[in-house]
Chains A and B, each alone.
Chain A
Amino acid sequence: MNPLLEVRGVTMRFGGLVAVSDLSFEVTPGHAHGIIGPNGAGKTTAFNIITGLYTPTAGDVLFRGESIAGQRPSNIARRGIARTFQNIRLFRDLTVLDNVRVAHDAHARYSWPGAMVQLPSARRAEKETIAICLDMLEKFGLGDVAYERAGDLPYGSQRRLEIARAMALQPQLLLLDEPAAGMNSAETLKLVEFLGWLRDHFSVTMLLIEHHMQLVMTFCDRITVLDFGKTIAEGTAAEVRSNPKVIEAYLGPEDGHE
């Protein structure tokens, strides 16, 4: 099967700092692909390159076989890549419903003059959007708080809303930046269940950054391990776990410990 996303020899330099160096990996459609690595390994930088926040210094990113490196983030989003953020970035002053609507609006067709004079097509599109988004919130267990201010939700619900918002974009690829951040192991277990439901229900391919090893090892079909901006290992959970380079990156060289 052709890969959904291909990262080809991507390098990202910030002045003298090389955040990502010659990074390459592929994401197979239908897979949950994990990116792990110690702090500062370049995981979030890789996400920011894929979603267009950064233009890579060298290399290319292909989505469904087309180059997307350096395109505007809004274009990449509308092509079918949605994401969440490490530190939740909701539109806090908007209602929960409006948060989801902003993402769903990306596919609405009506023009702004049409909206201004309330053409029937624009009105219909608005009503459909509301119905679809309310339905979406219902699925994510946020139906009851649809008209609340997003910033007023408890932390866990905000995380869920961020994923719901990303899914309203109807993406083929969902990028999750540390979805288990700030969760205890019981909550993480629930999250694994939730992510499984998400994948089956929306049949979306996932690429996720996570520090929580248990989550990555049980949930991901394939894992890429980064250290110092380079890929040091790639494979299934079992393969990665037994890779000496990975053990070294996480625990330090053996002689350093004894």
Chain B
Amino acid sequence: MTRWFRQPPPRGVLLTLLAAGLAACFVIEQFGLVDDYVRFVLITLGINIILCVSLNLVNGWMGEFSVGHAGFMALGAYLSACVSVKWLAWGDPLWMFPLAVIGGGLMAGAVGFLLGLLSFKTRGDYLAIITLAFLMIVKSGLENIPYVGGARGFLGIGNHTTLLWTAIWTALTLWAIRNLVYSRFGRGIVAVREDEIAANAMGVDTRKAKLAAFVVSSFFGGVAGALFAHQLQFINPGVFDIVKSTEILVMVYLGGVGSLAGSILGATVFTFLSQVLQPLGTWRMVILPLILVLLMLFRPRGIMGMREFPWFVPRREFPAKEDKK
């Protein structure tokens, strides 16, 4: 993958920024420095970044086309809500909430494993149709389970998604996916996308690489869903429909396929645009897709497509200093 610069960032900058960011989140929250609306938008931004970068793993780096990401979100949202409202309601949110989020992620990851198995035989348009079917099954399934409120929805979820938790999970997601992408598995899925025959001839196990990508992608989709549920405090199956999936797709293809920086950029632009365009009402959903159409015409891989901001690239990936010119 091509990068902007040849130079790695100065040592420790990213860690310092991260620590400062987390501290800022904590302080803002503790002393109520921002109003509820700004806080809500910032949390939405974090959740959107998680959604965007995790879908990017499958749709960008791997080059498949999944439209089922909202389904994984739903699984994570509902399972975490069950944990925090029904199963471990007595627990202190300090340890109970992370457990609920991880539980939601694991649930989504397990189902993602099954969907990954299907991806061996089907790909391209066919995989898109299968993920669409998966999305409909999840939504209809949840509507028919009275235990989680059926079509009326799941009420009374605690407001546990703080700014700090969102920031922690966002950083964790970016870190984990970066590590995966710059490992043999990440190179494997990119190689499969570039030329599957050559990749196989070089010993890349397509199945293993695809399974890993699907499981990780859906796990973090579930994590985002869990955070989402505890932000809104009320979820119903109708929220996790094809429109939600489409929103995530817009973020991915806006920011850029196969790029961490692109995922952050896409999620940020999308989050703020949808807030700014709020007064336009339903016209919002005309303008956002229109932007996508223009983007596909002039920049089909997104703003940062296949390029990376050097700060997100592990240090070992850069040429050594003493390299001859």
Residues of A within 8 A of B (CB): 51-53, 72-74, 77-78, 82-83, 85, 89-95, 98, 101-103, 105-108, 110, 112, 115-118, 122-123, 126-127, 129-130, 144, 146-147, 149, 165-166, 169
Contacts and interface: CB of A to CB of B under 8 A. Distances in A.
Given A89-B197, A91-B194, A94-B191, A115 B185 contact: yes
3 tightest CB-CB pairs across the interface, nearest first? Answer: A106-B203, A115-B183, A105-B184
Given A72-B205, A89-B195, 19 more contacts: A74-B206, A77-B203, A89-B197, A90-B195, A91-B195, A93-B194, A93-B306, A95-B1, A95-B2, A101-B187, A112-B212, A115-B179, A116-B183, A118-B179, A122-B183, A126-B316, A149-B2, A165-B202, A169-B203
Contact of B187 (A53, A78, A105, A123): A105
28 contacts: A72-B205, A73-B200, A85-B197, A85-B198, A89-B198, A90-B195, A91-B190, A91-B198, A91-B199, A92-B194, A93-B1, A94-B1, A95-B1, A101-B184, A102-B199, A102-B202, A105-B184, A105-B204, A108-B184, A110-B183, A112-B212, A116-B176, A117-B176, A123-B316, A126-B182, A147-B319, A165-B202, A169-B203
B180 interface: yes
B188 interface: yes
Nearest to A115: B183
Contacts of A92: 194
Nearest to A107: B203
A238 B320 CA distance: 51
B305 to A, nearest CB: 10
Contacts of A129: 184
B184 A115 contact: yes
A77 to B, nearest CB: 4
Contacts of B202: 77, 82, 102-103, 106, 165-166, 169
A48 B31 CA distance: 67
Contacts, number: 113
Contacts of B199: 91, 102
The winner among A115, A123, A166 for most chain B CB atoms within 10 A is A115
B201 interface: yes
Nearest to A126: B316
B188 A105 contact: yes
B183 A102 contact: no
B6 interface: yes
Interface string B252-270: 0000000000000000000
Nearest to B180: A116
Contacts of B198: 85, 89-91
A126 B184 CA distance: 8
B216 interface: yes
A116 B188 contact: no
Interface residues of B, number: 35
Contacts of B316: 123, 126-127, 130
A179 to B, nearest CB: 15
Interface-central residue, B194, B199, B203, B324, by most chain A CB under 10 Å: B203
Interface string B293-325: 000000000000010000000101101000010
B183 A146 contact: no
B35 to A, nearest CB: 37
A47 B314 CA distance: 38
A106 B176 contact: no
Contacts of A149: 2
Contacts of B204: 74, 102, 105-106
Nearest to A81: B201
A112 B183 contact: yes
A51 B180 contact: no
A51 B179 contact: no
Contacts of B212: 112
Contact of A146 (B179, B187, B319): B319
B119 to A, nearest CB: 16
Contacts of B317: 130
Nearest to B317: A130
A147 B6 contact: yes
A73 B199 CA distance: 9
A73 B192 CA distance: 13
A146 B184 CA distance: 18
A129 B183 CA distance: 10
A101 B202 CA distance: 10
A51 B201 contact: yes
B191 A91 contact: yes
B319 A83 contact: no
Interface in B148-199: 176, 179-180, 182-185, 187-188, 190-191, 194-195, 197-199
Nearest to B215: A112
B238 to A, nearest CB: 33
